[in-house]
A and B are shown apart, each in its own frame.
Chain A
Amino acid sequence: MQKTTKEWQKAVIGLFMLYAYNAPAEAAALYAKDVKSINNLSASVNSIPIVNWNIAGKVVSATGEALPGVTILLKGTTNGTATGVDGTYSLSVPETGGTLVFSFVGYTTQEKTFSGPGPLNITLADDAKALEEVVVVGYGAQKKSDITGSVVSVKSEDITVVPVTNASQALQGRVAGVNVTTSGSKPGAGVTVRIRGNRSFSAGNDPLYVIDGIPITGGLNDISPQDIESMEVLKDASATAIYGSRGANGVVLITTKRGKLGKPQLTYDSYVGFSQALSKVDVMNGAEFAEYKRESRRATGNYDDIDPDADAKLFQPVELESIELGRSTDYQDMMLRKGMIQNHQLGLNGGTESTKYALSLNFFQDNGIIKIQDMTRYTVRLNIDQQIGKRIKLGASTLASKSVINGYDLNPYDDALAENPLGVPYDEQGNLIFLPTNDGLRSNPLSELVPGANINREDRMRIFSSLYGELSIADGLTYRLNFGPDLIQSREGNFTGRLTNARRNNDPTAGTIENQVFNYTLENILNYNKTFAEKHSIGFTGLYSVQQRQFEETSINVQGVPAEQMEYYNLGSALTVSGVGSSYQRWNILSYMARVNYGFKDRYLITLTGRADGSSRFAEGQKWGIFPSVALAWNIQNEPFLHDVAWLSMLKLRTSYGETGNTGIDPYQTQGSLSRTTYSFGNTGVLGFRPGAIRNNDLRWETTRSANIGLDFGGWNNRITGTLEFYQQNTRDLLMNRQLPLTSGFGVVLANVGSTRNTGVELSLSTRVIPGNENGSFSWDIDLNAFANREKITKLFQGEEDDIGNAWFIGQPIRVFYDYEKIGIWQTDEAELAKVYGQQPGEIKVRDVNGDNKITADDRVILGSDRPKWQGGITQRFAYKGFDLSVFVFGQFGNMILSRIHDGDRTSLFGRYNSLDVDYWTPTNPTNAYPRPNQNQETPIYRSTLRYFDGTFVKVRNINLGYNVPTNFANRIRMQSLRIYATAQQPFVFSSYVSKYKGVDPEIDPDMTDVQTPSISQYLLGINVRF
């Protein structure tokens, strides 16, 4: 099977190349014949008697670029043609004179009268407004007014104004319905993007990313955000259904910058800045720790305040010394530093009529706020478009990226928080003390930062290409072949030296994990666009595609590396091999898609799409899924009855309904698999295999049905524009890791069960409050978006019955916090009542919901959900003369968060590890906040109830102040333009979680399980130069 796959791949590419280089003459002949026959046809339809004038010419843009595909119509007839790929046209007209109408997306329509045969060359002017409104959609581009689905576009200016590592962070707060969270501040940390909420339990909720037409896997971390021309977010089924089985979570289309006609133009964009922790976690200082430790002993009757030697009995010498000296070590402070971030991008862009190119080199570095964590990325991008003959266009966009991420899997910060502040990290000579106290588990957190002690390094290389060949077959009909190979090679190297907490003076360990991913997409696209009788516009897109992903991994771990400087580079020299592994995965998707657009008089638009996908990952007989959609739009402002309403520039009603799928599961899940175990008999090691996963012969697509109603509006010369949308999405056959009672021998099975519903409303509004003028008078713009999504489970395994084991409840969002409800701390005068519950004063008191005088599992309640009630962002832009200022504020309201700062060692309160500086209960401090420290409770009873907080926040995400140096000055220093700017990234956070409860950042990745490197603020200076 593999052979055949490869063979036909070769055949296809070979055939195409052969055709592209040898066939142009014949193709041209064929083309000419087709045009003539169409003309003849139109002529006969309109009964025009004689054809004797021939008008020919060339259509170019203002910059002199040939414009292919420009529609030319003889006014008042259906007689027309379109320009070829070189911009030329030729049209036969009756010998009476008349007017030709030249129209093209993104250009002002122009009329030209003629009174005789001959050449007629035209320069079409850019329609600034129209140009702005061309929007990339799946497998093509459309004028905004022709769009029927829900598509939001983010342009490069908005992407580059925020200095982000990962381009999807630029969507945060800018697009209604899109929720973006970053997992902490570790350099290279991933980004979670959710479009219109979550719908899936197990098949993933990440949107599909499509770069230059090619769907990719693995996010956007390898791409320089400055290379992006635009990002389009497809939200409703009409827009995403053409991506069928991968479209359910929305689609983000990324278009990279391509070459433009003109002289070579050199650009340099750069920013440099520093980052610092948003704030530190408030843990106890030495004196506070000492008192807390005493209290933990008082609680068990092991600290006698009257005994003058009580401290001497409790504390070790170093602690006693610190108490006496009032000394306290702030490990957190010693671990954090000012991070440094820099980005440099050099671009070269230009082209002739036949060849256009864009080249960019980028260097990005983020040195995190903890010494051993950083990221460096180099990217090279080359986009080329080449015209061959009149009908063929070939092009490639290729990205090569190399990145190095250090310390991503290391988390020394957690240790710094827990370290006893009464210990001393350095001896008198300034050397690190490995065990600052006599607690054998707590080695010095600073020793983790010693160069070479702890290495965790990921080297990653990626070569991603999108190659295309386009052939104009006939008027309005093009065939396009896309081929997108994507190769990722990464190696993670780990080394843990002797003097680390993990090894505690034992032999060093090392290991590597290498993996290789090869993806490819091969697409055949047929496009046809035609307008009949000036009022019927028809578009057709057909697709046949193959996608494949192949993943291989090998890993090895060793122990006893002979010398620390060998790190993980000579694993063979180590004493023992402690683990070896390899794995392989492959999946394929086959697809057919068709889309029809029909527009009548630019007023009534309809789009029909259908896609059939076959996935190797599903069971026999369940592999194919069909995803149809329909969308209708009404450009109300084009109705005659609104012609007189001058202030109304746009009013469009859109509605769509369709189905999309989700196939985001690992391969081989339909085949029950065995899991490996180890054991030994005597001195012989043996491997065992036992049932590990239940076979599921019914696995099939997860399907989402969505309905969307949208209203686009604009008025007063587009001083106000906006969009209001309502939607509802029903997802069924959810792929769920259904949890099973272990009595069956299995804890989980992947199955299609249950349904969810997302309902939401989204509003985007842009207003030019004070429009500026060309002289740089004061201007003020506001962009605002607000959105609310309600996610709920509508069905589970047994219909409408809750699944407590998974904490899934009908009518609730997928993730809720289901736990006991803390109502305070048992007080001294409640001792009797506490005893009924087997508790004592000083312990956490939870609500006895059913009042049976026992706290059992039945007393758990749904405390809240991590889904915000609503979210919104507001960007204000001010400009005056050369200065511009933008302020971007973002907020999230009404969600609950699970705070890891209030979990783990930070609130274990047993007098051993340092703790969050909390108001804990003592007999003389009858607080209701935190329980009494107690040396015998490694975790206080019901401790999990201390972690939940209101996650509402408002953040000033970004303030950017820029200055465009006057052109004449820029020219004097041999630049075309020069802009300098300063940016403050996330300077302020407003939230009760921070102000009242000692939290650091309420924007928490819900999957995070410990306290990671804290969130940061960044301050940057940047320049943009154009030579």
Chain B
Amino acid sequence: MKIKIIILLIFTGYLSSCNNLLEEEMHSQLTDNFINTAAGLESAVVAAYQPLRQYYGNERGMTTTVFGTDIYTYGSDGSFKFFNDYSSQLDARNTYSQEIWNNFYIGINTCNAIIERGPTVTDAPEATRNMRIGEAKFLRAHHYFILVQTYGPIHLSLQETTGVQTESSRSDIKEVYKVIVTDLEDAITKLPATTGSYGRATKAAAEHLLARVLLTRAISTAAETTDYERAATLAQNVIKNYNFSLLPDVFQVFAQDNEQNSEIIFAAQYINSPIYNGDGPNNASRFFLMEYDVQPGMKRDLPNGTPWKRFRPTNYLLNQVYQNREHDVRYEKFFKHVFYANNEASIPKVNGTPKYTVGDTAIWLPGVELPAAVINQKRYQVITPSKYTPKLYPSLRKFEDALRADNQANGVRDFPMMRLAETYLIAAEALMYSGNTAQAVQYINTLRQRSARVGKTPEETLLHQQAMTITEAELNIDFILEERARELVGEMFRWFDLVRTHKLVERVKLYNPEAAANIKETHILRPIPQDQIDRTTSNFPQNPGY
């Protein structure tokens, strides 16, 4: 009998303990309730910034904004040349259109969660909550703004997704802009003028972004009559009301370790720590660089960087935009002209003696043609414009990144998204279209004079500055576009600028020989990712022409 009792005991023992065995305890993951706490809300706001890294300084963001324009075409390498030449491979299956779409919509859902749940997070002070909601609105507006410019009419989602959603639709760009503008207006009221943690959105950033949005909307089918005026006012606010200032030396704006300078209004943040530098990568330093590393006397090193030779300046950029090099230092400051020998083994020899030593000039790009006699005198390699190839060309220096751990490491520099120079250009354009050309010219001239060459004497400097000024008669949208190219080259504005001003097709045909044959009106929008169409249960039309 004892046995039976024992067996019975064993069974009852099991039975009594079985029900809690089926309960799950989470230890290594967080559930979505976390966002309802103060700490959770903070972390969600941090996460809302993450899509910026998926775009700025990143290959997909740069590929879709830098080349395929009038000022940049493709270099020798890279898998996404069709974004430059607009060939039939630029279709709905391309991964960049898809990734940009996905990343920003993930970001939008994060913002929605913050905006919706923020007010109910009781253990955070109201002031903090409001500020965080302001940040989320700023970011949501930013994400939607990139999307609407890239894809046209898009799906609007203003509520956090809590269940399975398989329907989506395309809202008219009027609706989309309304959301963007409202969000930014709200953000302006909620955001502080300055922030204790550098890199978070501020009131100035929201004003600047709204100015840019209105400038864009003003010439679109969603235009409202006050757009230019409001844009001008907002831009002027940013210029006047905060402590931003144009740096006297334009190169200092892009000097490494000087990213937090007084010209920066808002920047996508990167950091020199492999643990926190994920979610990128920032490769901005690589795309513009020519193939210096296999030239005589050279090898690849960290200060010079990794030459991916993706983006090559067009002749238009070099010869027309940067025509004035006598008074304007921007070509000189923004491009690399000399490479210094760093590889003893490959220095050319004459009768067994090296022509030069490590540290001497190995490559010089004078930027102009030189007589053969002059070139022949040089011990080092001289690459004049006639010798430019898809691998050898003037390299943009704005994003040089020598402080990375090594040459395989991702970029560690902030990527400027809004800087005061652009505010000046926005103000000028908005004022010009509002009929206030006089003031517009003032902003343009202030900006231009900053880049005037510094002479040996104050008088000489003054002469250079005078040469940089333009008159009201000279101001028109083509001039502004050219000025934007001169100032903002490489900063991920160009494709948007050309689309905004309806000049993409015209200018690409004129100045980008690789793309001229293919580009057509279709290309003012990117294709809607095929995944979006395939996975949506409602009808989600493709952009025309794709």
Contact = CB atoms under 8 A, between A and B. Distances in A.
Interface of A: 1, 4-5, 8, 11-12, 15-16, 19, 23, 26-27, 30, 316, 438, 440, 471, 473, 479, 502-507, 524, 544, 546, 548, 559-560, 575-580, 582-588, 590, 614-617, 623, 667-668, 670-674, 677-691, 694-695, 738-747, 749, 751, 797-798, 803-805, 837-839, 855-857, 935-939, 941
Given A683-B271, A688-B45, A4 B50 contact: no
Contact of A23 (B2, B291, B540): B2
A688 B54 CA distance: 15
B110 A691 contact: yes
Q: Which of B35, B106, B307 has the most CB of A within 10 A?
A: B106
Contacts of A502: 408
B81 A936 contact: yes
B271 A616 contact: no
B49 interface: yes
30 contacts: A1-B25, A8-B14, A11-B13, A12-B10, A15-B10, A16-B10, A440-B306, A506-B406, A576-B273, A579-B275, A616-B21, A616-B22, A667-B24, A671-B29, A677-B47, A679-B47, A680-B273, A681-B197, A681-B198, A690-B110, A694-B164, A740-B165, A741-B535, A742-B106, A742-B531, A743-B532, A744-B164, A838-B87, A857-B533, A938-B81
Given A19-B3, A579-B274, A689-B47, A5 B17 contact: yes
B161 interface: yes
Contact of B109 (A11, A615, A616, A744): A744
Contacts of A751: 164
Nearest to B43: A689
A478 to B, nearest CB: 12
A616 B11 contact: no
Contacts of A1: 20-21, 23, 25
B72 interface: no
Interface string B166-203: 10100000000000000000000000000001111000
Contacts of A740: 164-166, 535
A936 B74 contact: yes
B22 A673 contact: no
Contacts of B278: 677-678
Interface in B1-34: 1-3, 6-7, 9-11, 13-14, 17-18, 20-32, 34
Interface string B31-59: 11011000010011111111001000000
B260 interface: yes
Given A23-B3, A671-B31, A507 B21 contact: no
Q: Which of A590, A684, A686, A747 has the most CB of B within 10 A?
A: A686
Contact of A4 (B17, B31, B162, B514): B17
B202 to A, nearest CB: 12
Contact of B28 (A507, A582, A857): A582
Contacts of A30: 1, 3
B275 A578 contact: yes
Question: For the side of the interface on B, what is the size category?
Answer: 35 or more
Contacts of B23: 1, 616
A690 B48 CA distance: 8
A673 B198 CA distance: 29
A570 to B, nearest CB: 18
B373 interface: no
A577 B6 contact: no
A538 B530 CA distance: 61
A590 B21 CA distance: 8
A524 B14 CA distance: 10
Given A559-B274, A694-B163, A672 B533 contact: no
B24 A576 contact: no
B443 interface: no
Contacts of A747: 102
A878 B20 CA distance: 59
B461 to A, nearest CB: 35
Contacts of B261: none
A217 to B, nearest CB: 18
Contacts of A677: 46-47, 50, 278-279
Contact of B101 (A16, A577, A742, A749): A742
B67 to A, nearest CB: 13
A502 B409 CA distance: 11
4 A-B pairs closest in CB distance: A745-B109, A685-B276, A688-B47, A688-B46
A838 B88 contact: yes
Contacts of A546: 14, 18, 21
Contacts of B26: 668, 671, 673
Given A694-B161, A740-B535, A938-B81, 5 more contacts: A504-B408, A739-B535, A742-B102, A742-B529, A744-B157
Contact of B22 (A19, A471, A590, A687): A590
Contacts of B101: 742
A678 B81 CA distance: 30
Given A30-B3, A506-B407, A744 B275 contact: no
B534 interface: yes
B155 A743 contact: yes
B518 interface: yes
A686 B46 contact: yes
Consensus secondary structure, chain B interface? loop
B69 interface: no
Given A26-B3, A584-B27, A682-B269, A689 B163 contact: no
Contacts of B306: 440
A712 to B, nearest CB: 38
B34 A674 contact: yes
Contacts of A316: 294
Contact of B165 (A578, A744, A935): A744
Contacts of B274: 559, 576-579
Q: Which of A16, A548, A741 has the most CB of B within 10 A?
A: A741
B270 interface: yes
Nearest to A690: B47
A668 B11 CA distance: 29
Contacts of B275: 577-580, 678, 685
Nearest to A674: B30
B113 interface: yes
B108 interface: yes
B483 interface: no
B79 interface: yes
Q: Which of B40, B165, B514, B518 has the most CB of A within 10 A?
A: B165
Contacts of B106: 690, 742, 745-746
Interface in B354-412: 405-409
Given A689-B40, A741-B168, A857-B530, A674 B200 contact: no
B466 interface: no
Given A1-B20, A671-B31, A678 B74 contact: no
Contact of A5 (B21, B80, B533): B21
Contacts of B532: 741-743
Given A671-B31, A672-B32, A681 B200 contact: yes
Contacts of B198: 681-682
A746 B160 CA distance: 11
A838 B82 CA distance: 12
A684 B409 CA distance: 19
A797 B80 CA distance: 35
Nearest to A579: B275
A810 to B, nearest CB: 15
Given A743-B155, A936-B85, A797 B46 contact: no
B14 A4 contact: no
B279 to A, nearest CB: 6
Contacts of B47: 677, 679, 688-690
Contacts of B542: 856-857
B293 A743 contact: no
Interface string B514-535: 1000100000000001111111
Contacts of A679: 46-47, 49-50, 53, 269, 276, 279
Contacts of A615: 22
